[in-house]
Homo-oligomer: A and B are copies of this chain.
Amino acid sequence: MSAEPSLPITSPAPRFGVWLIGARGSVATTAIAGCAAVAAGLHPPTGMVTETAPFAASHLPALSSLVFGGHDTVDCPLPKRAEHLAEGGVLPHGLPAAVHAELVAADREIRPGGPPPGDTGRTQDEWIDVFAADIRDFVRRQDLAGAVVVNVASTEPAPADGSLPPSSLYAAAALRAGCPYVNFTPSTGLHHPALAGLAESFGLPYAGRDGKTGQTLLRSVLGPMFLQRALAVRAWSGTNLLGGGDGAALADPAAAAAKNAGKERVLADTLGTTPEGEVHIDDVPALGDWKTAWDHIAFDGFLGARMILQTTWQGCDSSLAAPLVLDLARLTVRAHQQGLTGPLSELGFYFKDPVGDGPSSLAEQYTQLRHFAERLRTDTPAPEAHR
């Protein structure tokens, strides 16, 4: 005889998976360590838009409910990676030790990425199956209520032939595993003709492409300013100095071309014209995890008076990107829960080259994001969520 049967059965709070492509990179490590630190109250959620008031009622998954895993081609374990980041000033000293358990737990869920260049052992479709199986296995073993796949790997060169580049294999695997997909990089991901319409056909939402964390973030507020004030931008020139792995990856002209396309699109979209000027991306290892972006904008005022605005942005890319990755994971998981499918164009606030149609000025994108936060509030899922 026991009282237990009459007690209401409290099901454990649902947990959600965040599967990171490039799970041992700087951005991923910062996101995983930071999520644990903020969830534990060790740090305020600076840089996390989803922790601000407009998102309070949007039923986003709690930070403490997020479980991390992912693919990567490198072996350096997350706790060691976090130590490196602390030495470089990206993570606070002491943080790697404080969240050691969470880093170890996430590291156990990282599976080998691939395929290696020139691999001929498996077909592309087989690779997609392998990756999808990894993701499904993660969701099953961890008993997750849902999961999202987020690409935070180094930028890959623009694909040369029609074959699927690695980022597209992972993207296809996400869908095949029933997960929404977010592309935080300029790599191809779902932007491949062979994958067009695939997310819709799987009934899954997706977002991207190329997180807006520095120079382009600035351009998305300065461009509209010039346009609204009817000032004529004559030339917009920029130089980016990047240390870390990103600098090396983007020193490859093909990778830089992918990145620059997004930057230029923002200018052209916000200004309505394409001004003179180039964008350079330099690899400067001495800068470590920091990057510096200098912009020089020559514009005309009334009667042709020539004026100049210069900006210098000195930021830590991982610290800027990581909170946005957590934002996107939460928003996309919730959107999936609500039955939304296809391109989440309302998330253009986060991207240089947003999916779907939407405004290009940050202010209008923010307005859209707040509307999106309202849509996520409804307690009853939309009909398509009943599938």
A residues touching B (Cβ–Cβ < 8 Å)? 30, 33-34, 37, 43-49, 51-52, 87, 89-93, 95, 217-218, 221-222, 224-225, 228-232, 234-235, 237, 239, 241, 275-278, 280, 282, 284-288, 292, 294, 296, 298, 300-316, 319-320, 322-323, 349, 361-364, 366
Describe A's contact surface by its main secondary structure.
mixed
**4 closest A-B pairs by CB:** A363-B363, A305-B319, A234-B286, A301-B319
**Contact (Cβ within 8 A) B314 A311:** no
Shortest CB-to-CB span from A365 to chain B, Å, is 9
Q: If the complex has contacts A95-B303, A225-B217, are A286 and B235 also in contact, measured as CB distance less than 8 A?
A: yes
**Contact (Cβ within 8 A) A49 B239:** no
**Contact (Cβ within 8 A) A362 B225:** yes
Residues of B within 8 A of A241 (CB): 235, 237, 277, 296
**Contact (Cβ within 8 A) A310 B307:** no
**Contact (Cβ within 8 A) A292 B296:** yes
Shortest CB-to-CB span from A352 to chain B, Å, is 14
**Contact (Cβ within 8 A) A316 B305:** yes
**How many angstroms between the C-alpha atoms of A146 and B323 in the bound complex?**
55
**Contact (Cβ within 8 A) A305 B93:** no
Residues of B within 8 A of A231 (CB): 46-47
**Contact (Cβ within 8 A) B232 A46:** yes
**Contact (Cβ within 8 A) B294 A296:** yes
Residues of B within 8 A of A30 (CB): 302-303
**A304 interface neighbour in B92, B239, B284, Cβ under 8 Å:** B92
**Contact (Cβ within 8 A) B319 A302:** yes
**How many angstroms between the C-alpha atoms of A87 and B304 in the bound complex?**
12
**Contact (Cβ within 8 A) A239 B280:** yes
**How many angstroms between the C-alpha atoms of A322 and B294 in the bound complex?**
30
**A301 interface neighbour in B33, B234, B320, B349, Cβ under 8 Å:** B320
18 A-B residue pairings within 8 Å (CB atoms): A43-B304, A44-B232, A46-B301, A46-B302, A218-B225, A239-B239, A277-B284, A278-B282, A294-B294, A301-B316, A302-B319, A307-B316, A307-B320, A308-B312, A308-B314, A309-B312, A309-B314, A362-B363
Q: If the complex has contacts A221-B224, A224-B363, A323-B230, are A315 and B301 also in contact, measured as CB distance less than 8 A?
A: yes
Residues of B within 8 A of A47 (CB): 229-231, 301-302
Residues of B within 8 A of A315 (CB): 301, 307
Shortest CB-to-CB span from A52 to chain B, Å, is 5
**Contact (Cβ within 8 A) A49 B228:** yes
Q: Which of A43, A275, A301 has the most chain B CB within a 10 Å cutoff? A: A301
**A52 interface neighbour in B230, B234, B294, Cβ under 8 Å:** B230
Residues of B within 8 A of A302 (CB): 30, 34, 46-48, 319-320, 322-323
**Contact (Cβ within 8 A) B312 A310:** yes
Residues of B within 8 A of A44 (CB): 232
**How many angstroms between the C-alpha atoms of A292 and B48 in the bound complex?**
28
Residues of B within 8 A of A234 (CB): 286
Residues of B within 8 A of A305 (CB): 89-90, 316, 319
**Contact (Cβ within 8 A) B237 A284:** yes
**Contact (Cβ within 8 A) B307 A314:** yes
